[in-house]
Amino acid sequence: MSEIDRTAIEADESIKLEALKASALIQLREVRDLPGLEAYRVAFLGKASELMRLLKDVGTLPAAERPIRAALRNQLKETLSRIVEEYRGKLEAEALTARLSAEKIDISAPVRPEPLGLIHPISRTMEEIAAIFGAMGFAIKEGPDVEDDWYAFGALNVPGHHPARAMMDTFYLNANMGERRALLRPHTSSVQIRTMLDWAEAQKSSGASPPDIRIIVPGRTFRSDHDATHSPMFHQFEGLVIGRDITLAHLKGCLSDFLRAFFNVADMPLRFRASYFPFTEPSVEVDIGWNRKSAEVGRGADWLEILGSGMVHPNVLANCGIDPREYQGFAFGVGIERIAMLKYGIADLRLFYENDVRWLRHYGFSPLAPANLHEGI
Ligand code: 2NL
């Protein structure tokens, strides 16, 4: 093809495309926003646009003209695409600027009040128990809510015919753990059983005596019982101390210190009364002095039973692999709801679990002032 022919074809194509380009540039001035720009892009660069039709028709052109016209048409497509994208960038920047100035934060506006949660009295009471026994060198231990009947009863020297083992009192699950029946623990003692088993195991494998056991086990417990003073789920903590030289005197001193610190009555009247539990021998129930009428603790002529305790039964030690001729210790169990009700003047057990916000606001504790012994408990 001669140079003259080529120039003629280019000129012919350019005239056509210049008209299209001019029309596109004129119409771009009408575009004000991003949706408008998208409509514009569809009109000039979309599938149904004039330019796309021209590009599709390239294949039907005489072979000699094809590369010349195709190059010019592609050039226009690129130019228009670039113009659209540049304009899009400009519109987006403008939209952002407009939004930022419209959404200006008024730093002088008062802060919206954030509702602050409070610590539930059960949790608070557990914190207090942990603080008092923590200061006496006890560690806090926890364990699973679902146990089997050996950890809950068998290891604890509770005989098979004991009423606590009956369906009436304990929630049994329709499941086994190995060979044993699964249940919801009726007390936290299973955690102490595991601790003693681990301790005996560690002693056997190392040959040396591990340090004395001194633990507090707080947690949820379950009994099939529901009335004004019993909930099917409640909380308790148990304590366990095991060593070579632990005596009933340690039990008395430890529980006296706890009760006096917890109720903040230095001269709390206390009564240690002989009792019976299958897992302790001797067993001791502890009463505190109070005034039944005013419900004031620490003063008054009445006695109130507050916890059960005793020296760990030799059978229980033996069940856990501990030689009762070498070691002994004491254990105790306390209902957390009960001591919280007494300390904080809560009359109805059921209100602990109803999540009535008014009640929680009244009886809840600030999370910013956790229980500790420095400020007194
Ligand atoms: C009560 C009585 C008590 C225990 C719990 C215990 C645990 C082990 C071994 C021996 Cl592993 N004893 N616990 C002992 C005496 C009393 O609870 O009236 N609780 C509310």
Ligand 1 site residues (CB inside 6 A) read 156, 189, 192-193, 236, 238, 240, 277, 279-280, 308-310, 312, 316, 331-335
Sequence-distant (≥ 6) Cβ neighbours of residue 343 within 8 angstroms: 125, 262, 263, 297
Predicted pLDDT of residue 239 = 98
Mapped onto helix, strand or coil, the DSSP state of residue 246 is: coil
Nearest by Cα to 213 from 243, 247, 252, 258: 243
For each successive 10 residues of the chain (377 residues), what is the average pLDDT? Answer: 86 92 93 94 95 94 92 95 95 92 87 87 96 96 96 93 81 92 96 97 89 96 89 96 97 97 95 97 98 93 97 98 97 97 93 93 92 78
Span from the CA of 334 to the centroid of ligand 1 (angstroms): 8
- Residue 376 is predicted with a pLDDT of 72
Q: What is the pLDDT of residue 2?
A: 82
**What separation in Å is there between the alpha carbon of 275 and the centre of ligand 1?**
12
DSSP class of residue 361? H
CB-based contact 201:321 (threshold 8 Å): yes
- Whole-Å CA distances, 229 to 223, 273, 308: 12, 23, 18
**What is the C-alpha separation between 341 and 39, in angstroms, rounded?**
72
The answer to whether residues 298 and 288 touch, using CB atoms and an 8 Å cutoff, is yes
Of 336, 283, 265, residue with least CA distance to 306: 336
Under a CB-based contact definition with an 8 Å cutoff, are residues 141 and 217 in contact?
A: yes
Sheet harboring 146-148: ordered strands across? 146-148, 180-184, 172-177
Nearest CA to 92 among 35, 30, 25, 44?
35
Looking at residue 134, its pLDDT comes to 96
Q: What is the pLDDT of residue 322?
A: 97
The pLDDT assigned to 369 comes to 87
| pLDDT in the model for residue 159 | 84
Residue at token pair 């730093």: 107
Q: How far apart are CA 272 and CA 252, in angstroms?
A: 8
Q: Maximum distance among all alpha carbons in the chain?
A: 127
Give how far Cα 136 sits from Cα of 239, 307, 320, 334, Å: 12, 19, 25, 17
Distance 46 CA to ligand 1 centre (A): 82
